Structure 1
Amino acid sequence: MSFPENITTFNTTKDVVSAKPVSPKLKETKLPSSHESVVQSIPLKTSNENITLDKTVQGIPTEHLYQSGYDIPNVDLCPNLGAKLKVVVGIMSAPSHQEARMAIRQTWGHYALRKDVSLGFIVGMSKISSMNDITAEESAVYGDIIRGNFIDSYDNLTLKTISFLEWIDNYCSQAHYILKTDDDMFINFTKLLGFIDKHWKQEKTIYGRLAKKWKPIRNRKSKYFVSPKQFSHSVFPDFTTGPAYLFTGDIVHDMYTNALKTTYLKLEDVFTTGIVAQSINVKRIHINEFINKRIPFNICNIKKSISIHMIKFYEQFDLWKKLLDGRSKCK
Structure 2
Amino acid sequence: MRIKLGQTSRASPNPGSVELSDGTYTFHLNYAAFQAEFPHLQSYRCRELIQGDGICSGSLGQRLLLLAIKSHPAATARRATARRTWAQPRLLRDYRVQHVFLIGVSPNPRHMALLGQESEEFGDVVLWDFTESHHNLSLKERCFLHWVGEHCGQADFIFKGDDDEFVNPPALVTYLHQTSNASSLIHGYMRYHSAVMRSTKYAISSVLFPQDIYPHFPSGGGFLMPRASIAALTMASERIPVFPLDDVYFGFLVLAAGLQFRHDEQFKVYGVRDELCLYREALVVHGVSLDRVEEVWRGLYVEHRCNVTGPVPS
TM-score, length-scaled by structure 1? 0.76
Code of the residue aligned with 1:294 in structure 2: it is G
Q: CA deviation at 1:168?
A: 0.4
SS in structure 2 at match of 1:77: coil
Indicate how the Cα distance of structure 1 residues 247 and 81 shifts in structure 2: closer, same or farther if over 3 A, else same: farther
Indicate yes or no: 2:216 matched with 1:241.
no
CA 1:317–1:98 in 2, change beyond 3 Å: closer, same or farther? same
Aligned length: 274
Pick from 159, 183, 189 the counterpart of residue 163 of structure 2. Answer: 183
CA contact (8 A) 1:94 1:123 kept: yes
Shift of 1:118: 1.6
The CA deviation string for residues 262-311 of structure 1, in whole angstroms up to 9 with x for no partner, is 22222111111x11101111111111100112222312211121110111
Contact kept, 8 Å, 1:91 with 1:122, in 2: the verdict is: yes
2:296 maps to what in 1?
319
Q: Which amino acid aligns with 1:243?
A: G
The ranges of structure 1 where at least 4 consecutive aligned residues each deviate by more than 6 angstroms after the TM superposition are 80-83
Q: In the alignment, what sits opposite 2:174?
A: 194
Which deviates more, 259-268 or 169-178?
259-268
- Structure 2 distance, partners of 1:159, 1:241, is 17
Q: Give 3-state SS (helix, strand or coil) of 1:155's partner.
A: coil
Letter paired with 2:121: V
How far off its partner does 1:61 sit?
7.5
CA contact (8 A) 1:121 1:145 kept: yes
Aligned with 1:196: secondary structure?
helix
How far apart are the structure 2 equivalents of 1:130 and 1:299? 36
CA distance in 2, matches of 1:291, 1:57: 35
Shift in alpha-carbon separation, 1:177–1:71, aligned structure 2, 3 A = same
Q: What letter corresponds to residue 116 of structure 2 in structure 1?
A: A
One of 194, 208, 217 as aligned partner of 1:214: 194
1:6-64 deviations in Å (ceiling 9; x for gaps): xxxxxxxxxxxxxxxxxxxxxxxxxxxxxxxxxxxxxxx98xxxxxxxx8584657873
Q: Return the alpha-carbon distance in structure 2 between the equivalents of residues 322 and 296 of structure 1.
A: 16
2:246 maps to a residue whose letter is E
Compute the TM-score of the two structures, normalised by the length of structure 2: 0.80
Q: In the alignment, what sits opposite 2:248? A: 270
Q: Give the 3-state SS of the residue equivalent to 2:130 in structure 1.
A: strand
2:133 corresponds to which residue?
Answer: 153
**Letter aligned with residue 260 of structure 1:** E
* 5+ long unaligned stretches in structure 2: 1-9, 12-32, 309-314
> Which structure has more strand as a fraction of its residues?
2
Indicate if the aligned counterparts of 2:268 and 2:282 stay in contact, CA closer than 8 A. yes
CA deviation after TM superposition for structure 1 residue 167, in Å:
1.1
The 3 A distance-change label for structure 1 pair 151 and 176 is: same
Aligned twin of 2:20: none
Question: Partners of 1:149 and 1:253 in 2: how far apart?
Answer: 23
Matched, 1:170 2:147: no
Per-residue CA deviation, residues 236-267 of structure 1 (Å, 9 max, x unaligned), is: 11111001000111111221231233222221
Contact map agreement 1:230 1:265 (CA 8 A) in 2: no
Structure 2 counterpart SS, 1:269 = helix
SS in 2 for 1:96: coil
Q: Is 1:141 the equivalent of 2:121?
A: yes
Distance 1:218 1:201 in 2: 38
Q: Which residue of 2 aligns with 1:75?
A: 53
Larger mean CA deviation between 229-238 and 313-322 belongs to: 229-238
1:85: Cα distance to partner? 3.6
- Paired residue type of 1:188: N
Alpha-carbon distance between aligned partners in 1 of 2:52 and 2:167, rounded to the nearest angstrom:
23
Distance, in Å, in 1 between the alignment partners of 2:112 and 2:135 is 19
Between the aligned residues of both structures, percent identity stands at 22
Aligned to 2:259: 282
Q: CA deviation at 1:113?
A: 3.1
| Aligned equivalent of 1:50 | none
CA shift for structure 1 position 158: 0.8
1:261 corresponds to 2:239 = yes
C-alpha RMSD of matched pairs (Å): 2.5
Checking the alignment, whether the CA contact within 8 Å between 1:78 and 1:171 is kept in structure 2 is yes
Contact 1:58 1:229 in 2 (8 A): no
Q: Supply the distance in 2 between the matched residues of 1:319 and 1:157 (Cα, whole angstroms).
A: 28
Structure 2 partner of 1:10:
none
**Contact (CA 8 Å) 1:61, 1:264: kept in 2 or not?**
no
Q: Is the CA contact 2:176–2:182 (under 8 Å) kept in the aligned structure 1? A: no
Distance 1:93 1:229, change over 3 A: same
